Amino acid sequence: GAGVSQSPSNKVTEKGKDVELRCDPISGHTALYWYRQSLGQGLEFLIYFQGNSAPDKSGLPSDRFSAERTGGSVSTLTIQRTQQEDSAVYLCASSLAGISNEQFFGPGTRLTVL
Amino acid sequence: TQLLEQSPQFLSIQEGENLTVYCNSSSVFSSLQWYRQEPGEGPVLLVTVVTGGEVKKLKRLTFQFGDARKDSSLHITAAQPGDTGLYLCAGGSQGNLIFGKGTKLSVKP
């Protein structure tokens, strides 16, 4: 389809393991965002990529979190040494340009850390 | 730190009733967006407002941006079960798009 896709849809891991979450944005969208949504909470901004500019990493909660965007398209969010508090839905969104444009969201990856 | 507070947090009403949900901040935003999120899906944009005092209508939904661009409201007329979902407001300024925690709306037939 033409929308934002994320994989896997669900991920269960053990505490201390590393996980990689993937996001395929809409083709041609220059901006890509990662958010985290815990149960009953709003969206917590994690990281923002815009074109070839250095990403805005100001929302990453610790140095265990990192993200890459290869070739201006696909992005991978990596969480090292996962903790139980990392359990949440991780949402990816893309848009044509900057923050003020409509963000199109993927369905999210539900991460459960046991 | 810019924060957006949404109220009420939960709202359960009967089909046909009217409702208003609020999004408030002490900060000024250059734009404000409203999204609706259904379980298991990502949020979907409903509207963007950019001018203080602006009112936008989307069928039975009316959105208003406060004169000072610090607050917004969403009014739904004659709510239907299909309106059920989590309504999120998001403020844009320099840098990040900041989301409120949302209002969880349940419309019972």
- Closest chain B CA to residue A47: B96
Residue B1: which residues within 8 A CB-CB, separation 6 or more?
A: none
Tell me: the pLDDT tens digits for A64-89? Answer: 999 999 887 999 999 999 999 999 99
What's the rounded Cα separation, in Å, for the pair B49 and B91? 10
Residue B20: which residues within 8 A CB-CB, separation 6 or more?
A: B73, B74, B75, B76
Contact at CB, B43 and A105, closer than 8 angstroms: yes
CB atoms within 10 A of CB B5: 14
CB atoms within 10 A of CB B3: 12
**One-letter amino acid identity for B7?**
S
Nearest in space to A6 (alpha carbons), one of A80, A104, A98, A112: A104
Is residue A96 a contact partner of residue A104, using CB atoms and an 8 Å limit? no
Q: What is residue B70's three-state secondary structure?
A: coil
Is residue A104 a contact partner of residue A26, using CB atoms and an 8 Å limit? yes
Residue B96 has a pLDDT of: 67
Contact at CB, A58 and B95, closer than 8 angstroms: yes
Contacts B24 to A, Cβ<8 Å: none
Q: Residue B19 — very low, low, confident or very high, per pLDDT cuts 50/70/90? A: very high
Partner B contacted by A97 (CB < 8 A): no
Mean pLDDT across chain A:
91
Residue B66: which residues within 8 A CB-CB, separation 6 or more?
A: B52, B53, B72
Residue A41 has a pLDDT of: 73
Partner B contacted by A56 (CB < 8 A): yes
Our CA dihedral for B82, B58, B39, B3, rounded to 10 degrees, sits at -140
Q: Residue A98 — very low, low, confident or very high, per pLDDT cuts 50/70/90? A: low
Residue A102 has a pLDDT of: 81
What's the rounded Cα separation, in Å, for the pair B72 and B63? 7
